[in-house]
Amino acid sequence: MTLHTRPLHQLDAWQAAEALARRDIQSLDLVRACLDRIGERDAEIHAFVELNADAALALARTLDAGPVRGLLHGLPFGVKDLLDTADLPTAYGSPIYAGQQPLADAAAVALCREAGAVLLGKTVSTELANMHPSVTRNPHNLQHTPGGSSSGSAAAVADGMLPLALGTQTAGSLIRPAAFCGIVGYKPSHNRVSRAGVKSLSETLDTIGGFGRSVRDVALLGAVLTGDTRLADPRNFDASASSAPRIGLCATPDWSLADEDTQQAWAQAEKALAGFAQPVTLPAELQGLVARQKAVQTFETARSLRHEHRHHAQRLSAPLLALLEDGMRISGETHAQNLQAVAQQRHVANELFRDLDVLLAPSAIGEAPAGLTTTGDPLFCRGWTLLGLPCIHLPFARGRTGLPVGLQLVGRFADDHRLLAAAHWVHERLTR
């Protein structure tokens, strides 16, 4: 079954949501189309750890027979295996928790279900949402990483297995996989989405967000997760009603580490946004963000995973063990000083938006690296995560080997609705 000649599993989430609300298509048909795609492709991509096929089909039939329940009515979605689900095991990407069955949904999962979404399955997370690679492959080239730690969610959306999927970010685990897989990834402002029912790594950094194939997709998801309907306001996506945002071009202090692919995407964006954007240099007070983010994450992760370290060290990867040991060597006094500095830096960052609406910045060093022994470097995401600012990756270019490349937009804290409106405007121009 097609809509406007496109197979159902290729529809953007917002397109499918509108068609479902009008009853132009049936949830049952959309769920079947996604399950068929999973059956065709997941043996190669390995995006899922658990499927919920029978329950999903049954719920889709019920939704088709009843009233429209909410913004996500009838839409299939996937959940990173870091978030609890009452009807599917949650293992956090670790053999330590294999087969664990939570008693309740994580808050983000419950909100999606309440809005009418249909859970198709749990998507692969790297080991305890850290850097050790998972089995998931990049759908654009199976010999390349999809990024991490939200590996399965990004790969599933990119390959048409799902229109929407939940993920998390502590360093770059939403933006980087979105960049490598060529889709839109949205990290809300810190604490805009409840983290109840999610395996904790860092209270200061952990953020729940998601993936879609367009800005409107993640705006729909964001409105449900935050309860802020401004995120999905149709006027944000109406060219006749929206005005040009004030854009700052922020290459960041680490620009010298960006490779040729990111540099070319940057040049393309500068040309497309000429007249609407101006260069911005981060103030001296915002130097050292990457190093501080690493220190905060390492300290807090070492303590969040203290049980696993003490009682299951033999079931942890060598890189994760090394990180946990490093974290325990950081003193509480040093961490307190880092937190004080973060609070000050977040205040300084807010001032960046006095005369700007958004910042354009690199998402990743370049294309997804070849091989499956790394998930790539989250270098260009760490600082924005530390500052707690909302971010969205916009895919629009290709690198030297044909893999996706893009850039991210960063907004003022808690101004997620303005970020998403600006992102739609910018993305329209970058993809012309």
The whole-angstrom separation of Cα 126 and Cα 326 is 20
Element (DSSP H or E) covering residue 123:
strand 118-123
Q: Are strands 207-212 and 184-187 parallel, antiparallel or unpaired?
A: antiparallel
- 162, 77 contact by CB (below 8 A): yes
What lies within 8 Å, CB to CB, of 391 at 6+ separation is 174, 175, 186, 187, 381, 384, 385, 408, 409, 410, 411, 419
What lies within 8 Å, CB to CB, of 271 at 6+ separation is none
Half-sphere exposure of 95 (CA within 13 A, CB side): 6
The whole-angstrom separation of Cα 186 and Cα 425 is 16
Q: Which of 125, 134, 149, 202 is catalytic?
A: 149
Measured CA distances, 317 to 89, 128, 248, 274, 322 (Å): 22, 10, 40, 47, 9
Known catalytic residue at 149: yes
The whole-angstrom separation of Cα 203 and Cα 296 is 10
Compute, in degrees rounded to 10, the torsion defined by CA atoms 59, 65, 68, 70. Answer: -10
The whole-angstrom separation of Cα 335 and Cα 299 is 7
- Per DSSP, the chain holds a count of helices (H) and strands (E) of 14, 13
Q: Which of 134, 151, 173, 189 is catalytic?
A: 173
Q: Which of 27, 80, 150, 304 is catalytic?
A: 80
Q: Residues in the chain, how many?
A: 432
- The pair of structure tokens assigned to 177 is 């996989």
Q: Which of 170, 59, 80 is nearest to 125 (CA)?
A: 80
Angle (CA) 51-57-59 rounded to 5° is 105
Hey, is 351 helix, strand or coil? helix
The whole-angstrom separation of Cα 44 and Cα 212 is 21
- Report the 10 Å Cβ neighbour count for 312: 14
Catalytic machinery residues: 80, 149, 173
